[in-house]
Amino acid sequence: MPSASTAVSTTARVDADSRLAPGRPGYRRTSLALFAAGLAVFALLYSTQALLPDVSAAYGVSASTASWTVSAATGALALCVLPLSALSERFGRRAMMTGSLAVAVAIGLLTPFAPSIESLVALRAVQGAALAGVPASAMAYLAEEVRPRALVAAIGLFVAGNSIGGMSGRVVTGWAAQLWGWRAGVAAVGLMAAVCAVAFRLLLPKARHFTPGTGSPAALARTVKAHLSDPLLLRLYAIGALFMTVFGAVYTVIGYRLVEEPFSLPQGVIGSVFLIYLVGTFSSAAAGKLVARLGRRGALYLAVTATAAGLLLSLAETLTGVLAGLVLITAGFFAGHAVASSSVSRTAAHGRAQASALYQSAYYLGSSAGGTLGAVAFHAGGWAGTVLLGLVAVLGVVSVTLYGTHRARVELRAEERERARKNGRETYNHTGSPSVLRA
């Protein structure tokens, strides 16, 4: 039983921790600011996704060609997130996020005027590159400014902002497109993101625990090499990429499925389908409670089960069945993403911005691949082809998680054997009894 002095010293250490936590000054402002940033990122990044049938019709291109208006943005983000995270080590997380949002919003307001599919894809790629400064910097900011026990919940709120942004952006574009055309829909998202960017800048407190790094290429290379040599981080990167492959494939193609028979839904109603993202808001915000109850692997297994069940249910030929499947897919994806992304920030002892950047790179490469491959699979085998692609990715998540569980058990048994060996040697040296050593 701890002594009174031990309890006092523990309390003093907790009180001396000036990082943010629920109930402490600045925590609510930080949460709201990053919620707004997450909303803006997903609203801009996927601003054309709900409009792909209209984009196909406007430019006279196929679904797979139109899908590049999404894949180019997510792919550019994946490629640029690491170098921009390195700049955040030198100039600060807050400055990087502010600059990234400003550039992305400006491009978002230019996008509706794209005269051709090629120019639209190019603008979207530049916009995705600009947005790359937000995700990794946001997670690094939280890892530095928020206490470890509150980190999953804080990142969950950022991810919840992603889900709200993805939902509201698609709903706004859907109805605006139905009333005034797809270009008006994209413009509406740009204006909404501008409001979020201003709110973010006004709300986010200055960093108190940020220490500028050198930002040299050699230092960056060493940090990246160390992260890529960590088996746990590699597994988390793979999980993020595979989860996002499912999500990107489903939500890129779903508009094409719902506009066809037997559903034949108008664009505004298809945009409203993305209200299902609200489920992701709750599941990502609840990720901390899931981890506390089930552990990180248990929470991932639950997320995988929900996603796989949703994919199978979405094969139904009724709108109710499809919507129920989307609910499960969305809940499983956002819960799994919140658990995996927070585990990256918790695992990395140094270079957190680079660790988060590598996760974001894998995550958005999964989105880019899922969007393009999902459209190809849809052309080849209809919705069943897209579902098959998603199930293969889900099986990949299961395999990676099971392997991680196996490795953890092997390492634990090895540690127990090593402790037993050391304890046995110490007892043998003390008693002179070899039988104790064998025990």
Encode pLDDT of 129-154 as tens digits: 999 988 768 877 887 888 777 777 77
In this predicted structure, which of 166-180, 239-253, 419-433 has the lowest mean pLDDT? 419-433
210 falls within a domain: no
1 falls within a domain: no
| Residues near 165 by beta carbon (within 8 Å), at least 6 away in sequence | 38, 39, 40, 41, 42, 43, 44, 196
Residue 429 has pLDDT above 60, yes or no: no
320 falls within a domain: yes
Look at 21 and 183; give whichever has higher pLDDT: 183
Highest mean pLDDT among 6-15, 131-140, 328-337, 338-347: 328-337
Structural domain containing residue 371: 23-205+216-438
| Residues near 139 by beta carbon (within 8 Å), at least 6 away in sequence | 155, 158, 341, 344, 345, 352, 353, 356, 359, 360
211 falls within a domain: no
CATH of the domain at 376: 1.20.1250.20
12 falls within a domain: no
Cβ atoms of 341 and 359 within 8 Å: the answer is: yes
194 falls within a domain: yes
Residue 5 has pLDDT above 50, yes or no: no
Into how many domains does the chain fold?
1
361 falls within a domain: yes
What is the percent of the chain with per-residue pLDDT over 70, rounded to a whole number? 89
Give the tens place of pLDDT for each residue, 292-309: 788 888 888 899 999 999
DSSP-based three-state secondary structure for 20 = strand
| Confidence band of 417 (pLDDT split at 50, 70, 90) | confident
313 falls within a domain: yes
